Structures are given as structure tokens and as C-alpha cells.
Amino acid sequence: MGYLPIPVDMYFEDFAMEVLEYNVLNNNNVIGTYQGLSNSDEDGTYIGFKMSDQPLISVGNTLCTVDGLEEYQIIKVSYDRYEGKPELLKAYY
């Protein structure tokens, strides 16, 4: 678990041009659609989602951009906190 230096909303605003819409698939069924940002850290490459959107994402799910051009299998999920509260879900692929 990491820590954010700024609130997650500010993070998404700062990188607004890079935000993409992702469908979350479980057994080939779409269970949610959320905005996410690609990034990487010492644990690997991930797509970050706002916890305030209540993303339903877990290991084994597939993330697919709504345009269908990118697809990722989730291998790990972790969270970053801001002021002690989880604000960013990180879905590693």
C-alpha cells in the first residue's frame, strides 16, 4: 500500500488527457465501466481507478478499453492512500 502526495481527484485532473474508460469483465461479462489512468511503480504496471467510483475490480478480471483496442488480465490489486484514506485502486497486469 502506497501513499498519494495529492488527492486522487487532483491526480486525475492533472493527467486528464490520459484518462481512458475501461470495461471490467468477469467471465466475459461486463460488470462495470470506470475511468482509469495507466502508470507503473516498483510493483509493476497498473491502471489506477478512483475509490470514490467504487470500482468492482479483482484478481482474474479483465480490463478492456471501451474502444476494444487494449485488454489486460489483472494479476494483483492494491490501494494508495491520501491522508490515511484509500483513494486509488491499482489494478496490476
pLDDT digits (tens, 9 = 90+) for 29-58: 999 999 999 999 999 999 999 999 999 999
The 10s digit of each residue's pLDDT in 74-89 is 999 999 999 999 999 9
* Helix, coil or strand: residue 77: strand
The pair phi, psi for residue 24, each rounded to 5°, is -105, 125
Cell of 23: 470495461
State the alpha helices, DSSP H only, in the chain.
8-14
Q: What is the pTM of this model?
A: 0.94
The answer to whether residues 55 and 34 touch, using CB atoms and an 8 Å cutoff, is yes
> Residue 92 gets which letter from DSSP?
E
